[in-house]
Chains A and B, each alone.
Chain A
Amino acid sequence: MSERHAILRPNPLSRWLIHAAVYAIALTMLIPFAWMIATSLKTRGEAISSTPTLLPPGWPWQWQWDNYAQAWETANLGRYYINSAVVAIVVTLLAGVHNALAGFALAKMRFAGRRATFTMLLLVMMLPVQVSFIFAYVICGWLGYVDNYQALIVPFLASAFGIFYMRQAIASVPDDLLDAGRIDGFGDFEIFAYIIVPSIKPAVAALAIFTFIASWNSFFWPLIVIDSNDMATLPLAVASLSSQYYTDSWPVQMAAATIITVPLILVFLLFQRAFVEGITLTGIKG
């Protein structure tokens, strides 16, 4: 990220008001999550009291930590955690490699059909999943994927968006670097592995985070292709909590919401630097 602008200089009162407005917006981003965690540690009675308190009553060791155990066990979240993690990790790793290779071909290699391929990808990006999912489901059925990990993994091993994103990032790598590699006797794949990938690491990280989040949070497609309880992913399992077991127990629902939310926030905090750098690299900047 380049330097910040010294040029916008409103007067002190305006500055104070702008700070107040932006911090107020940030606060509305946090309050619902604070409320979620607070509620997850209350008893059912405390939660629906008409004089709600921000903190659960009593000392931290008196709070209802048991809600987490209940959410975990009742909804069998351990199993679904593993399902979601396996799917998200495999998809992120493999799709990352496939999208980057395809993006490299489209950005830096000369071959007949390059423009046409790129145009087709842009068109595919506009297709809503609502038009494709019925036959995507039918094809998964033919392949025996329905109700299996494959249904959640194979269709996502490459994506038009991911290829587009990688192509934009790789296009910014100077051609001189590639030529230098060729003089050293590198083949196309070696150039990709030893020159391209190291120079676009932040974009790779950003796409990895996008892919991981999209897979972890994916809701519509699993809802369609997963029927059995065993293969459900975390969002499906947590969604069923509200309808099945605890319609009136906000604390247990909030505990489940916390359980599925926290890992993502941690992943993001860990990688956010690379993520933000990666976005600036992709050529969709001003």
Chain B
Amino acid sequence: MSRSQSRNAWAFLAFPLAIIALFVALPSLAGIVLSFFEWSGGGSPRFIGMENYRALASSGPFAPALRNTLVFALVTVPITTGGAFLIAAALNAEWFRGRTTLRTVLFIPTIVSIVAIGFIWRWVLDPSPAGLLNHALEWFGLERSALPDWLGHGPWGLVTIMGVSIWRGLGFAVVLYLAALGGVPRSMYDAAAVDGATSWQTLWHITWPGVRPMTFFLLITGMIGALQVFDIVLVMIGTSATGWTDVLNLYLYREFTLNRLGYSSAIGVIILLLTIIITAIQWRSLGGAEAGA
């Protein structure tokens, strides 16, 4: 622990930490404080205590946006994580053919710009006869009149958003799981083979616990990301989202564009609180101390 090492360490850390402090940490603190003020960006902010939160709780869009955000997070994250585990386990089996190619194909939606994703899916889901999905469903014998409005503001709109979101996130989780599967010790599989376990039993009792730290990582980071869901709704539905398609973050953005900055910050704080609560619940129930990577 030489003095020169301490000096060098802070030299290496100084600039990165300054950037993070200036553009993330301090603005976040200020944002939390701002949620107790009324401010339009010009002039000086006016302190109004809990007024933003009170107004928020009784506002029309808040309850549906909160509900949709929670439904979105609680549906997409487990399905993406569980589905990715099963796919990765299949790809990882030595009898599986085409693993490398499929890994690449599955990963492509993750790297494509959300704007392009929005364009593509709105076109695939277009309600006109030229829309690919409706065309395909009709070919399978469904009546056009019975098909839902995929991009409307009813519950099907939320289903669409969740579906595209799972479609987009699956490959990322598969690639991470593949990395984790390589780390499960071979001796554990050998023990299972000696015990005469079936493939499904082995998968459930050996493989699944073996990748626990990765499952933990994916659930925690997935939830944090899902509670902030924004751009996928913006590009699929637009800022006019309402009813079943509105989410907290989009509500926040609309208030921001109306220059209601304190109110907008209050919604941000709600998202932060949800993040902390859900992360804490997951940390406890999944045994964060041992499983934490």
Contact = CB atoms under 8 A, between A and B. Distances in A.
B183 A220 contact: no
A89 interface: no
A159 B20 contact: yes
B93 A5 contact: yes
A22 to B, nearest CB: 5
A183 interface: no
Contact of A111 (B1, B175, B200, B234): B1
B192 to A, nearest CB: 7
A186 B269 CA distance: 47
Given A32-B121, A285-B213, A136 B116 contact: no
B32 A29 contact: no
Interface string B120-160: 11011010111010010000000000000000000000000
B135 A52 contact: yes
Contacts of B227: 128
Contacts of B96: 18-19, 22
Main DSSP-derived SS at the A contact region: helix
Given A126-B276, A127-B24, A131-B268, A216 B93 contact: no
Interface residues of B, number: 113
A219 B39 CA distance: 25
Nearest to A52: B130
Kindly name the residue among B4, B179, B212, B213 whose own CB sees the greatest number of chain A CB atoms within 10 A: B179
Contacts of A39: 123
Interface in A247-273: 250, 253-254, 256-258, 260-261, 264-265, 268-269, 272
Contacts of A31: 124, 132
Contacts of B161: none
Contacts of B89: 8
B107 A130 contact: no
B180 to A, nearest CB: 4
B182 to A, nearest CB: 4
Contacts of A23: 98, 102
A28 B105 CA distance: 10
Contact of B34 (A9, A135, A283): A135
A192 B151 CA distance: 52
Contacts of A284: 176, 180, 213-214, 217, 293
Contacts of A264: 111-113
B56 interface: no
Contacts of B6: 109-112
Which among B8, B193, B227, B256 has the highest number of chain A CB atoms within 10 Å? Answer: B8
Interface stretch (B9-17, B60-68, B71-79): B9-17
A254 B119 contact: yes
Contact of B102 (A22, A128, A135): A22
B261 A134 contact: yes
A33 B111 contact: no
Interface string B268-283: 1101100110010000
Given A39-B123, A131-B269, A258-B116, 7 more contacts: A1-B178, A131-B27, A131-B32, A238-B115, A253-B123, A286-B181, A286-B211
List of 4 A-B pairs having minimum Cβ-Cβ separation, nearest first: A158-B16, A135-B27, A50-B129, A286-B180
15 contacts: A8-B199, A8-B203, A10-B200, A22-B102, A25-B106, A29-B108, A33-B108, A126-B279, A130-B228, A163-B16, A235-B113, A238-B119, A272-B107, A286-B212, A286-B214
